[in-house]
């Protein structure tokens, strides 16, 4: 792995395995199964994948927000932040990091806000807890934060309850909540998925501006490659609990090496390239309790051969620095079948 | 546009929800919500109209009133020449065989206690189309048609993936051999790779059965691949309506322009000219005076007229309608 600019990573995830024991003998769901990647200071890292690929469980594992049981993070998993393993930190030390130095924004703003507290109280809460702000200072900080995230008339809005705000405004409040302690890392899990297209554009622009102003690293979790193309510096593509491809954004879009990434890119309905028929990936995402043997993508892959059914490929170096793909085609490119 | 009469002809459709009274019906009535406020369009047989808008624009209300799942407040909807809104109940039921709907969320629109077979047999029984072994043969044919394994006939919805459930929803709509299907955001709840499968299926079925679609979506990219005509709604009104190519290549309404620019392009080198609109969609209970879009409009020529005078939906070039005072001028 090369580091952009030769700097050390801010956060390093190593061989993360988060499993869930399912009821009624359904087996163990290996939701995240050996995920490794790193996040560098100031960058935006896109984590892309479809539902069930493990992207959300990965982000929740970083802050140890996985309910245990049924979930558990397997021994041997390692998440390094600031020289320490977040997975073995004492609860007290973890609390000093969570919401303070690493913060999170969730998909659905209404469920991340408490309906019986004003938005001002909720924004300032983290600052009161972590920095011991007084009541007056907390209120002033909340107003500052509302102004920062572009909410008009912040002096009045600070006393509003969540139901008085629109969906876009609520997501701004949630972002203000996350950023109140000026975290080094912001994990944004599908921050625009529940929003309308024009509001989505507003929130993406806001995140971009805040990152530039505050200099934090952003982990943007999304199913939408379009969102990633416009915002991320690097991309991690996940499938079936694993990382299947990592590359700089420019390289991933110019030359994807994993057939799953290729399929995802081809199946996006596009304004700039109208097509009569969309390319689609056949079949469905397999269940986390029964990942296919060999390469987990082989039942849906147009190029798969015997080796793919038998042997699971590791993340292979795809040629250029920082570009890796979990596909045997990287070493046996002659096996690629021409498009029909 | 075409010499033959359109299959669907909606004229000045209005749906207002009366303001409820607070305090157990004794308080002051709230304002009337103008969910749909004078919407007109036609769809030619075998074609697709893409109806695009954000939440609260009234697009789903149009769909529901058109099928009389909700009673309209005013206007007319001619289907095969007859006004759907004026039909007595008996004839309405017969008409329901001809018009069907595919809902957004295939989980909540399927009965969790019914197997796929039971779900597909129900409309056949209601419309007395088939019974017994005959019905089972129809179910098998329908599953095959939507690309589902016949073995899934005895599965319950929870045993199916999102894409499979939506295929069941489509099979159910097809079971009565309709001429017209309202697709209400049929792929919004699905993953990207599965979205493409379902969109392709809808296109294939349309060709095979010469179906007519009203395709509702919240983003213009999905519609790009399916519709011949596109209508864009904002706050209960159509603000632009034109052949699809005209909308994508030369949008005339500033709202359409910003919607187009807001679609994320999966290409990091694509020039980004995102027009970010300020503010939110106003409430349809309290729409702004004048042009409903004026508080968010980024048009450089926006003036007093926009704040006071409602722009009519008028023809700018043949077949291309837009409701903006400046639609005829170059941007």
pLDDT, tens digit, 9 for 90 and up, residues B43-78: 999 999 999 998 888 998 999 999 999 999 999 999
> Angle at the Cα of B86 (from B80 to B90), degrees rounded to 5?
85
Interchain contact, B224 vs A279, CB within 8 Å = no
Average pLDDT over residues B141-152: 90
For residues B193 and A50, is the Cβ–Cβ distance under 8 A? yes
Q: Is residue B183 part of a domain?
A: yes
pLDDT, tens only, A268-285: 888 777 667 788 888 878
Residue among B163, B218, B272 minimizing CB distance to A230: B272
CB–CB contact A278 B200 (8 Å): yes
Indicate whether B290 belongs to any domain.
yes
Whether residue B194 and residue A284 make contact (CB cut-off 8 A), yes or no, is yes
Q: Measured between CB atoms, does B133 come within 8 Å of chain A?
A: no
Flag whether pLDDT at B261 surpasses 70: yes
The pLDDT, as a whole number, for residue B266 is: 81
Contact B156, B180 (CB under 8 A): no
Q: How many domains does chain B have?
A: 1
A249: closest CA of chain B, how far (Å):
7
Contact A154, A143 (CB under 8 A): yes
Which residues contact residue B21 at a Cβ distance below 8 angstroms, ignoring those fewer than 6 apart?
B27, B28, B29, B30
Q: B199 in a domain, yes or no?
A: yes
**A110 in contact with chain B, both atoms CB, cutoff 8 A:** no
Name the residue with higher pLDDT: A199 or B233: B233
| Distance in Å from the first CA to the final CA of chain B | 27
Q: Which residues of B touch A269 (CB under 8 A)?
A: 195-196, 199, 221-222, 224-225
B141 min Cα distance to partner chain A (Å)? 20
Q: Given CB atoms, is A265 within the 8 Å cutoff of chain B?
A: yes
Q: Is B77 in a helix, a strand, or coil? A: strand
pLDDT above 70 (res B82): yes
Give a yes or no: residue B20 inside a domain. yes
Q: Show residues of chain A in contact with B259, CB under 8 Å.
A: 197-198
Tell me if B1 is assigned to some domain. Answer: no
Name the burial class of residue A23, with classes exposed (0-12), middle (13-18) and buried (19+) by CB atoms within 10 angstroms of its CB.
exposed
Within-domain flag for B76: yes
CATH number at residue B235: 3.40.50.300
End-to-end Cα distance, chain A: 35
The Cα of A91 is separated from the nearest Cα of chain B by a number of Å equal to 36
Instruction: Catalogue all structural domains in chain A, each as residue range(s) with its CATH number.
Output: 4-101+183-335 (3.40.50.300)
Q: Give CA–CA dist A204/B272, Å, rounded.
A: 13
Measure in Å the smallest separation between the Cα of B261 and chain A Cα atoms: 9
- CA B123 – CA A50 distance, rounded (Å): 33
Looking at residue A2, its pLDDT comes to: 43
B191, B193, B219: which to substitute to probe chain A, counting the most A Cβ within 10 Å?
B193
Tell whether B197 lies on the interface with A, counting CB pairs under 8 A: yes
Which pLDDT score, from 0 to 100, does residue A187 have? Answer: 94
Domain that residue B207 falls in:
8-98+178-322
Asked if the model's pLDDT at residue B22 lies above 70, the reply is no
Considering only alpha carbons, which residue of chain A is nearest residue B248?
Answer: A271
For the cut 80, the answer to whether the pLDDT of residue B272 exceeds it is no
A200 touches chain B (CB under 8 A): yes
Query: What is the structure's pLDDT at A35?
Result: 95
CB proximity list for B294: less than 8 A, separation 6 or greater? B288, B302, B306, B307
Distance (Å, rounded) from C-alpha B138 to C-alpha B124? 9
pLDDT in tens, B305-316: 999 999 999 999
Mean pLDDT comparison of B22-31, B89-98, B227-236, B255-264, highest-scoring range: B227-236
Query: Which B-chain residues 39-58 have CB contacts (< 8 A) with chain A?
Result: 54-55
> Is A271 within 8 Å of B263 when comparing Cβ atoms?
yes
Rounded Cα–Cα distance for residues A227 and A46 (Å) = 9
Contact A143, A163 (CB under 8 A): no
Distance CA A259, CA A98 (A): 37
User: Which of B59, B185, B247, B268 to probe the A interface (max A CBs under 10 A)?
Assistant: B268
Tell me the H-state helices in A132-245: 135-148, 154-157, 167-179, 197-214, 225-231
Nearest-CA distance A177 → chain B (Å): 20
Nearest in space to B266 (alpha carbons), one of A155, A287, A279, A187: A279
Beta strand pairing call for A217-222 and A44-48: parallel
B276 vs A202, A275, A281: nearest CB: A202
* Complex-level ipTM: 0.77
Does B176 reach chain A within 8 Å, measured CB to CB?
A: no
Amino acid A202: pLDDT: 82
A 45-104 residues with CB < 8 A to B: 50-51
User: Do the domain assignments include residue B279?
Assistant: yes
Show residues of chain A in contact with B163, CB under 8 Å. 284
Mean pLDDT for chain B overall? 88
Q: What is the pLDDT of residue A258?
A: 96
State the number of CA atoms in the 13 A half-sphere of A302 facing the CB: 15
Are A145 and A176 contacting, i.e. CB atoms less than 8 angstroms apart? yes
User: What does the pLDDT read at residue B25?
Assistant: 66
pLDDT tens, position by position, A174-216: 999 988 888 999 999 988 877 788 888 888 888 888 898 888 9
Shortest CA distance from A286: residue in chain B: B161
Instruction: Tell me the pLDDT of chain A (340 aa) as tens digits.
Output: 444 556 889 999 999 999 998 876 678 899 999 999 999 999 999 999 988 899 999 999 999 999 888 889 999 999 999 889 999 999 999 999 998 899 999 877 778 889 999 999 999 998 898 888 888 999 999 998 898 888 888 898 899 999 888 878 888 899 999 888 889 999 999 888 777 888 888 888 888 888 988 889 999 999 888 889 888 999 999 999 999 999 999 999 999 999 999 999 888 888 777 667 788 888 878 888 889 999 999 999 999 999 999 999 999 998 888 999 999 999 999 988 887 6
Number of Cβ pairs < 8 A linking chain A and chain B: 134
Please report whether residue B237 resides in a domain.
Answer: yes
The arithmetic mean of pLDDT across residues B209-217, rounded, is 94
Q: Is A116 on the interface with B (CB under 8 A)?
A: no
Looking at residue B325, its pLDDT comes to 94
Region B255-263: mean pLDDT is: 88
Interface test with B, best of A52, A198, A204 (most B CBs within 10 A): A198
Q: In b/e form, how buried is each residue of B281-292, taking b as 16+ CB within 10 angstroms?
A: bbebeebeebbb
Of the residues B197, B267, B284, B293, the best mutation for testing chain A's interface (the one with the most A CB atoms within 10 Å of its CB) is: B267
């Amino acid at each position: 792995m090369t580091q952009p600019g030769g700097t050390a990573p801010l956060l390093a995830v190593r061989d993360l395995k988060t499993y869930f024991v399912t009821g009624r003998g359904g087996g163990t769901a290996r939701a995240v199964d050996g995920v490794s990647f790193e996040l560098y200071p100031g960058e935006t890292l896109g984590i892309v994948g479809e539902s069930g690929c493990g992207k959300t469980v990965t982000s929740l594992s970083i802050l140890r927000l996985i309910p245990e049981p049924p979930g558990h993070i397997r021994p041997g998993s390692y998440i390094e932040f600031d020289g320490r393993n977040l997975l073995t930190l004492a609860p007290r030390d973890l609390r000093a990091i969570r919401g303070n130095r690493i913060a999170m924004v969730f998909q659905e703003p209404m469920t991340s806000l408490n309906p019986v507290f004003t938005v001002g109280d909720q924004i300032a809460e983290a600052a009161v807890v972590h920095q011991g702000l007084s009541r007056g200072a907390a209120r002033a900080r909340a107003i500052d934060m509302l102004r920062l995230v572009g909410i008009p008339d912040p002096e009045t809005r600070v006393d509003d309850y969540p139901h008085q705000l629109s969906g876009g405004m609520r997501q701004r409040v949630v972002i203000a909540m996350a950023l109140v302690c000026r975290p080094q890392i912001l994990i944004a899990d599908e921050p625009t998925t529940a929003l309308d297209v024009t509001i989505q554009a507003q929130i993406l622009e806001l995140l971009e501006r805040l990152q530039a102003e505050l200099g934090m690293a952003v982990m943007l979790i999304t199913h939408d490659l379009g969102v990633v193309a416009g915002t991320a510096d690097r991309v991690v593509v996940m499938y079936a609990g694993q990382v299947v491809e990592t590359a700089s954004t420019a390289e991933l879009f110019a030359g994807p090496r994993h057939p799953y990434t290729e399929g995802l890119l081809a199946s996006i309905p596009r304004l700039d390239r109208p097509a009569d028929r969309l390319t689609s990936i056949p079949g469905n995402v397999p269940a986390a309790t029964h990942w296919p043997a060999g390469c987990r993508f082989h039942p849906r892959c147009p190029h798969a051969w015997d080796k793919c059914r038998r042997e699971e490929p590791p993340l292979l170096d795809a040629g250029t620095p920082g570009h890796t793909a979990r596909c045997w085609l990287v070493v046996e490119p002659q096996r690629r079948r021409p498009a029909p | 546009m075409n010499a033959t009469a359109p299959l669907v002809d909606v004229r000045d459709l209005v749906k207002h929800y009366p303001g409820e009274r607070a305090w157990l019906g004794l308080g002051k009535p709230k304002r009337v919500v103008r969910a749909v406020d004078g919407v007109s369009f036609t769809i030619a047989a075998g074609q697709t109209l893409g109806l695009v808008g954000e939440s609260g624009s009234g697009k789903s209300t149009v769909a529901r009133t058109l099928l009389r799942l909700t009673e309209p407040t005013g206007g007319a909807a001619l289907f095969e020449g007859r006004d759907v809104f004026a039909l007595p109940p008996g004839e309405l039921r017969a008409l329901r065989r001809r018009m069907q709907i595919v809902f957004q969320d295939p989980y909540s629109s399927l009965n969790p206690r019914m197997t796929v077979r039971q779900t597909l047999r129900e409309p056949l029984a209601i419309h007395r189309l088939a019974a017994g072994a005959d019905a089972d043969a129809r179910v098998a044919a329908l599953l095959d048609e939507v690309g589902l394994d016949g073995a899934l006939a005895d599965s319950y919805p929870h045993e199916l993936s999102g894409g499979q459930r939506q295929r069941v929803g489509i099979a159910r709509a097809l079971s009565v051999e309709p001429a017209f299907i309202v697709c209400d955001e049929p792929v919004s709840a699905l993953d990207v790779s599965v979205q493409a499968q379902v969109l392709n299926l809808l296109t294939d079925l349309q060709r095979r059965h010469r179906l007519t679609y009203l395709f509702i979506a919240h983003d213009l990219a999905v519609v790009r691949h399916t519709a011949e005509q596109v209508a864009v709604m904002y706050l209960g009104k159509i603000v632009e309506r034109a052949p699809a190519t005209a909308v994508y290549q030369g949008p005339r309404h500033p709202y359409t322009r910003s919607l187009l620019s807001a679609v994320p392009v999966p290409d990091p080198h694509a020039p980004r000219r995102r027009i970010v609109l300020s503010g939110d969609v106003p409430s349809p209970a309290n729409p702004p005076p004048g042009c409903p879009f004026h508080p968010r409009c980024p048009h450089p020529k926006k003036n007093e007229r926009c704040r006071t005078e409602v722009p009519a939906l008028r023809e700018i070039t043949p077949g291309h309608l837009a409701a903006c005072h400046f639609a005829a001028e170059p941007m």
